[in-house]
Amino acid sequence: MNKVTKMFSTKQGVVTLSTPFFTLMHEQQQVEATYKPNNYNGWGMCKTFNAIEVSNFTQADAELFASTADSKLRIQGQAA
């Protein structure tokens, strides 16, 4: 697991960014963005980005990431 460098609290849950790391599959450093909803029941979502893409990641970016992730993880028509 990668060390967390930034954590953002959003309406839907918590978004964290890892420290940049290298992988054998990518030439550029990577950062893992993880979303865990407020009603965390052992699940969440993560996505890997090139570190340069998220170098200026802000609260607004975290809100958008959480909203998008939450909409994809929840069954439509079910209560949040």
pLDDT tens digits for 10-49?
999 999 999 999 988 888 999 999 999 988 776 889 999 9
> Using CA atoms, how far apart are residues 13 and 6, in angstroms rounded to an integer?
14
pLDDT at site 49 = 94
Provide the mean pLDDT of the chain: 86
Q: What six digits make up the tokens of 64?
A: 């958008």
pLDDT at site 4 = 66
Identity of the residue numbered 77: G
What's the whole-model pTM score?
0.81
